[in-house]
Amino acid sequence: MAANKAALAALIEALGSDGFTTDPDRLAPHLVEWRKLYTGTADGLALPRDTASVAKVMAIAHEHRIPVTPQGGRTGLVGGGVPDGGIILSLERLRTIRAIDSLSGSVTAEAGVTLMQVQQAAEAQGLLFPLSLASEGSCSIGGNLATNAGGTAVLRYGNARDLCLGLEVVLADGRRLDGLKALRKDNAGYDLKQLFIGSEGTLGIITAATLKLFPQPKSRSTAFIGASSPHAVVALFQRLRDGFAEALTTFEILPRFGLDCVLACEPGARDPFTAPYPWYALIEFSSGRADAMLSAQLETALGNALEDETILDAVIAASLRERNDFWKLREALSDSQGIEGASIKHDISVPLSAMADFMVETMAACEAHLPGLRPCPFGHVGDGNLHFNLTQPKGMDRAAYLALWPAFNRIVHDRVLAVNGSIAAEHGVGIQKREELERSRSDAGLAVMRAMKLALDPLNILNPGKVLLPKA
């Protein structure tokens, strides 16, 4: 539904001409998403500066039944922030870090504060906010919570949901829900914040959050290993997790094809080994103790894994520069893969016990479906989460390849569901996976989701058409 003139006038009056615009040039960057797969439309862009102004926007939208699409850093990967008419509500001006409490181990930040700014604010107090994504310079805390973001330290610290102590939310009708408590224990009724975390802007507008902080690690050790197969990589993971418990902070898998993409287009990237290997893993340990002797222990563990031929090669970073070089290989992978052409992407998770067989069988099935296809599954294997990306065959027409996305969904997602996995591990559903969500959830599960949506947003103005398919 379009925003009518009276509603637009009310929004300008509430936010001032600086806080609400219909200027097409200012709207333009807010209509596309990171991957440029989707383009939207909108009648206006609201840029409130505080929670009270967000509440005014929602009250006006509710009164006039105008759809509202919340946006944070616009790094989402499933089209959840792409508007379909109505107005865009950008949280980018809610930029205040309201408090840091080092004794309670918490920080309270407004929704538009970038993830990196929260990390830096924690670091300035000698503390750690451990959520870590390659998009951290741009993505916002509000967006991180709205998508329940994961990243590279979930193994040790959990995902955004695990790191959230309290939320301030503006409801669909403009009422404010103040839950900014820094408590580790609070069973006083339903835990309302959980409704909004991971709801992708469909149940409420997150305006601020209280987040957990941790002591900064005092020692770290980072390794890069080469292996013959996903089975070998998973076997090493199990061995290291059992031996090192929570000190194992990161365990990421990369295929040779992915490394080749990074080496080809990332300035300064270098192969840590002289010989090529089919698979690699980036592994990091950290400890709150300065005398943890992590490198020595890691050296022994990897030495044993080399000796019994679980892995083929290993190198431990001898300097911060070398550690950063290893991380660059992982962090640049997502973007570098584009150099080889179009990519059909799946963000999936499966139980670790099924991971290696799943990878080998699903890659084979995809290659059999389209000879010349170049699978590039990579990512957070220690969390059971893979970005199961498939690069087009060399020379194939890009559009013709991308038209095969639904067919590859059947190959990949049907196998994911067969082992009781998830078709949306950390990026969410947005527009992209609505049909897949319908296939993967039970009727009862979908009915509960629709009931929650109806209870919190009876007029269906909050990011309509995202996550749940519109009713036929």
Residue of the chain from 117, 286, 334, 440 that contacts ligand FAD (CB under 6 A): 334
User: How many C-alpha atoms does 235 have within 13 Å on its Cβ side?
Assistant: 18
**Which residue, 200 or 436, has its beta carbon nearer to ligand FAD?**
200
b/e per residue 359-378 (b: at least 16 CB within 10 A): beebbeebeeebeebbbbbb
174 binds ligand FAD (CB under 6 A): no
Dmax (CA) for the chain in angstroms is: 74
Sign of CA dihedral 90, 87, 427, 339: negative
Which residue has its beta carbon closest to ligand FAD? 143
The whole-angstrom separation of Cα 470 and Cα 76 is 21
Residue of the chain from 119, 135, 249, 432 that contacts ligand FAD (CB under 6 A): 135
**Which residue, 145 or 294, has its beta carbon nearer to ligand FAD?**
145
- Cβ at position 464, least distance to ligand FAD in Å: 11
Of 133-141, 286-294, 320-328, 364-372, the window that binds ligand FAD (rule: CB under 6 A) is: 133-141
- Cβ at position 136, least distance to ligand FAD in Å: 8
Side chain identity at residue 374, one-letter code: R
32 binds ligand FAD (CB under 6 A): no
The whole-angstrom separation of Cα 387 and Cα 349 is 9
166 binds ligand FAD (CB under 6 A): no
Of 240-248, 255-263, 277-285, 425-433, the window that binds ligand FAD (rule: CB under 6 A) is: 425-433
Q: Are 288 and 217 in contact (CB under 8 A)?
A: yes
The whole-angstrom separation of Cα 148 and Cα 164 is 10
The whole-angstrom separation of Cα 384 and Cα 393 is 27
311 binds ligand FAD (CB under 6 A): no
Binding residues with ligand FAD: total (CB under 6 A) = 37
The whole-angstrom separation of Cα 326 and Cα 314 is 12
The whole-angstrom separation of Cα 58 and Cα 69 is 11
**Which residue, 205 or 262, has its beta carbon nearer to ligand FAD?**
205
Residue of the chain from 251, 337, 463, 468 that contacts ligand FAD (CB under 6 A): 463
**Which residue, 150 or 255, has its beta carbon nearer to ligand FAD?**
150
**Which residue, 120 or 300, has its beta carbon nearer to ligand FAD?**
120
Residue of the chain from 19, 40, 143, 382 that contacts ligand FAD (CB under 6 A): 143
Of 146-154, 219-227, 281-289, 410-418, the window that binds ligand FAD (rule: CB under 6 A) is: 146-154
The whole-angstrom separation of Cα 145 and Cα 201 is 10
Residues with Cβ within 8 Å of residue 272, at least 6 apart in sequence = 224, 315, 325, 326, 329
The whole-angstrom separation of Cα 360 and Cα 404 is 21
- Cβ at position 431, least distance to ligand FAD in Å: 9
80 binds ligand FAD (CB under 6 A): yes
146 binds ligand FAD (CB under 6 A): yes
* Site residues, ligand FAD (CB under 6 A): 34, 69-77, 80-81, 91, 111, 133-135, 139-140, 142-144, 146-147, 149-151, 200-201, 205-206, 334, 426-427, 430, 463, 466
